[in-house]
Amino acid sequence: MASTLIWLLLGMTLLPRILRNRVALPEHCSYTKLSGHSQQTYPASPKEARIPVGKIELGLGIHGESGVGQASFDSVQTAVSTLISHLDKYMRDEPHVVLVNNLGGTSVLEMSVIVNELMQSTLGAKISHIIGPAAMMTSLSMHGVSISVYPATDEDLTSLGTNVSPDAWPALSSIRPVQTTTLSKQLAPIHFTASANPMRRNMMTQCCEALIAAKKDFNALDAKSGDGDTGSTVAKAAEALLSDADNMPCDDSEQLCSAISQILGQAMGGSSGILLSVFFSATSTALSDDTAVVAALKAGLSKIMEVGGAKPGDRTMIDALAPALDKLSNGIETAAVGAQTGVNQTSSIAKAGAGRAVYVEEKQLLGHADPGAEAVARVFEHLVP
């Protein structure tokens, strides 16, 4: 009987699992609170706009019946806080099981955020086990959640934890602290000794500020052939570098490149972050062997071409970086011109040889420069005294 009834919600979800092994139930054994951001839509029927934008409805019925009232929806935190304020007054100071049910139209990500807020709330200390988040009793496409709590005994937990035939029933999980592991020495962040070099500090600041200012431009350019986030990714890296500027070993070229590599690897994200981290790491390694600066930078370029597989002409940041480094021995102004020339050439490349753009058709690429190459050119432009 229990395994055929578990799809019903609390009193029709938790209790049948427990009734298999016991009949007597504690007084006030369960409490449920439902919240909806929008009600369900029946197939071939118009949607009723009963819940205004910016509102949630509390206690609405599983079939879309009106609830006990509406509240403002400012954030997930405030919505969950409203729900638990109604639940907390009925909960005793003992361990509870919480069932978090997706009413049908709430995304997996949203459900995870709701559970996190629930566990961080005042109710978190009273919750020892969780079922869900999952779609156990839905209301078609209703964008909402129901949170149910039950003061379960050890015998109840055994019943709730037994295997059942319906695959949709999620397992009972205990709430445990997050386990952390200390990073190995090879993976642990390196702590650098700050050193002053006003010229290098100023150059880095100017480049970072320029990249942050160009965020919207880079995003718009990337939207022509990619996912439109190059500007956001580059700006995030620049902001991380600026926030750590006081701790940078600016007077030690080798250590400075190593520090930049570490920050980009942690903060930038995406393939660009990895490749630029590799670039500065390889440059730092070359500098440690007393390699000249330009040769060391070219060693970094060779390394990212090896790791990333791109080469000049593939419509990537390599198309700006390679010509810039080739001309760097003639001065930073000449290098900046080389970088911009490389950027301009990417707008005439109809078929990318690497990166996300390899999947983009010709008409989406022609006439638009590669955003990664454009970012490299902006850096060289702002290195010019």
Catalytically active residues are 63
Contact 375, 317 (CB under 8 A): yes
Cβ pair 343, 316 in contact under 8 A:
no
Pairing assessment for the beta strands 55-58 and 127-134 based on DSSP bridges:
unpaired
Q: Sheet harboring 69-72: ordered strands across?
A: 69-72, 55-58, 31-38, 143-150, 96-102, 127-134, 172-174
Tokens of 228: 């439109």
Q: How many helices (H) and strands (E) does the chain have?
A: 15, 7
SS3 at position 38: strand
As a whole number of Å, the CA-based R_g of the chain is: 29
Query: Under DSSP, is residue 375 helix (H, G, I), strand (E, B) or coil?
Result: helix
Neighbours of 33 (CB within 10 A): 20
Strand-pair partners of 285: none
The angle, 0 to 180 degrees and rounded to 10, between the axes of the packed helices 371-383 and 215-223 is: 150
Token reading at 371: 């955003």
Asked if residue 368 lies in contact with residue 225, where contact means CB atoms within 8 angstroms, the answer is yes
